[in-house]
Amino acid sequence: MKINILTLFPQYFETFKNTSMIAKAIKLGHLEINIIDFREFSKEKHKKVDDTVYGGGDGMLLQVEPIDLALASLPNSYKILVTPQGAVFNQKKAHELAKKQEITLVCGHYEGFDERVLAFVDEELSVGDFILTGGEIPAMLITEAISRLVPGVLRKGSHQNESFENDGLLDYPQYTKPAIYKGLAVPEVLLSGNHKLIQEWREKHAYLKTLKNRKDIIERIKKDEK
């Protein structure tokens, strides 16, 4: 899979590309990450990519032309604008995007994008209802979530019991050695060796954890079952 990231700050991604799972996936040939500085597509004398807002307002807005030209250089890519105005990215969307051969993420900055940029992308995605200085960190988040679903990147089946997979619940509580730490004990059922009881415990506590931390997920599941 190939992921292009259009950004004004390519240096943000140097460590990201060369660390942990992402670096290994690139080395093995399962993943290609192409970082593009869309400032290079500016026709302005000093490679300017932003300007004042028509109608007035604070801050500077990213111009449509440099982004359009950068996207035009990637004709076979599924193009995504990373913006607070987009649909919220989730695990279901990660699975959907992981099936594509090539995607492009466009990172915003300053006061955002000229609205006409939307004419040149396939969809908008947000990582949540909050504002960041730029789209670089959200682009990393989306890239990692998608990458770990690409065949060969992780050990087969290793992500299938994580939060938001299968039934959509949060992950069940997990423990490792020691069995008792400062009076806090691992639940006995997990030490029993009885796989049927362990599975039942995990299913129950995945539900309880979701009910405690994310009631919205329980409500959505109930709504979908109707």
CA 191 centroid distance within chain: 35
pLDDT over threshold 80, residue 226: no
Q: Does the annotation flag 129 for ligand binding? A: yes
pLDDT at residue 166, as a whole number: 54
Q: Does the annotation flag 128 for ligand binding? A: yes
Q: Does the annotation flag 108 for ligand binding? A: yes
pLDDT at residue 189, as a whole number: 97
2-149 under CATH 3.40.50.300, yes or no: no
In the chain, where the domains are located: 2-149, 180-225
Q: Does the annotation flag 131 for ligand binding? A: yes
| 52 backbone dihedrals φ, ψ, rounded to 5° | -70, 160
CA–CA separation, 100 and 66 (whole Å): 25
pLDDT over threshold 70, residue 138: yes
Classify 29 as helix, strand or coil. coil
CA–CA separation, 94 and 97 (whole Å): 5
pLDDT at residue 164, as a whole number: 55
| Number of C-beta neighbours around residue 220 at 10 A | 12
Q: Does the annotation flag 130 for ligand binding? A: yes
